[in-house]
C-alpha cells in the first residue's frame, strides 16, 4: 500500500513539474501588440496586432472575478474599454502594465454608492521571489482585482505593448 501511494505521489509531482515548466509558444519576435482583449469567463488574455491574434494567455483575477469592479477592495477586475497607461519594471510583482481604471463612469458609480473607486489595476506577474510558482498561479484567482500572468508572459507583453494600447475587458 505504501509503495502504491509513493508511486502515485511521484507521478503527480512529475506531471505537476512538467505542466509548470513545459515551455509554451512565445509572442513573435518584435511583435507590436496594438489590442488586448480579456475574457474573464474564459480566463483569457488575447494579444492582437492589426486584427491578427498573436497569442492567447491563461490568466488569474481577483478573489471575486464575476462582475464589474464597483469600488476599492471588492476584489473584482473591471470590465469595459481602457488603455495601458503605465509600465513598471520595478514592481513588487516582477513587472506590470497599468490599466487606466477608473474612468469617469467608474468614478461616478463608486461615488453614487458612497465608496472610493480605487485604482492601481494592473496586468502583473508573480510577487518578487515567488517566480517558481510559475503556471501554478493560474489554478486560483488570487489578485486584488488585477490580471495575473507568469513572469515570462509579462516580460513578453512588457516588451510588445506600448502605453496607450487599448485593452477591452469582457465578462
Residue 120 maps to a domain: yes
Q: Which domain holds residue 121?
A: 32-170
Residue 52 maps to a domain: yes
Residue 7 maps to a domain: no
Residue 9 maps to a domain: no
Q: How many CB atoms lie within 10 A of CB 111?
A: 12
Q: The domain spanning residue 111 has which CATH number? A: 2.40.440.10
Per the residue annotation, which of 43, 94, 109, 146 is the catalytic one? 146
Q: Which of 19, 65, 67 is nearest to 43 (CA)?
A: 65
Residue 6 maps to a domain: no
Residue 21 maps to a domain: no
From CA 4, how far away is CA 23, in angstroms rounded? 30
pLDDT, residue 17, reads 79
Total domains, the chain: 1
From CA 111, how far away is CA 140, in angstroms rounded? 31
Count of H-run helices and E-run strands, the chain: 3, 8
Residue 18 maps to a domain: no
Per the residue annotation, which of 43, 68, 94, 124 is the catalytic one? 124
What is the chain's pLDDT, residue by residue, as a tens digit (171 residues)? 888 888 888 888 888 778 888 888 999 888 999 999 999 999 999 999 999 999 999 999 998 889 999 999 999 999 999 999 999 999 999 999 999 999 999 999 999 999 999 989 999 999 999 988 999 999 999 999 999 999 999 999 999 999 999 999 999
Catalytic annotation present for 68: no
Residue 115 maps to a domain: yes
Catalytic annotation present for 146: yes
Amino acid at each position: 500500500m505504501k509503495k502504491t501511494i509513493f508511486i502515485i505521489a511521484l507521478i503527480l509531482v512529475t506531471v505537476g513539474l512538467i505542466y509548470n515548466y513545459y515551455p509554451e509558444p512565445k509572442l513573435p519576435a518584435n511583435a507590436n501588440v496594438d489590442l488586448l482583449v480579456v475574457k474573464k469567463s474564459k480566463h483569457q488574455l488575447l494579444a492582437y496586432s492589426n486584427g491578427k491574434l498573436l497569442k492567447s494567455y491563461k490568466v488569474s483575477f481577483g478573489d471575486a472575478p464575476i462582475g464589474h469592479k464597483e469600488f476599492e477592495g471588492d476584489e473584482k477586475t473591471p470590465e469595459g474599454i481602457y488603455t495601458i497607461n503605465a509600465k513598471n519594471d520595478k514592481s513588487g510583482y516582477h513587472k506590470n502594465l497599468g490599466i487606466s481604471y477608473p474612468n469617469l463612469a467608474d468614478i461616478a458609480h463608486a461615488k453614487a454608492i458612497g465608496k472610493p473607486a480605487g485604482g492601481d489595476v494592473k496586468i502583473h506577474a508573480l510577487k518578487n521571489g515567488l517566480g517558481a510558482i510559475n503556471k501554478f498561479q493560474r489554478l486560483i484567482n488570487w489578485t486584488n482585482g488585477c490580471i495575473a500572468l507568469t513572469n515570462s508572459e509579462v516580460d513578453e507583453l512588457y516588451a510588445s505593448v506600448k502605453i496607450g494600447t487599448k485593452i477591452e475587458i469582457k465578462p
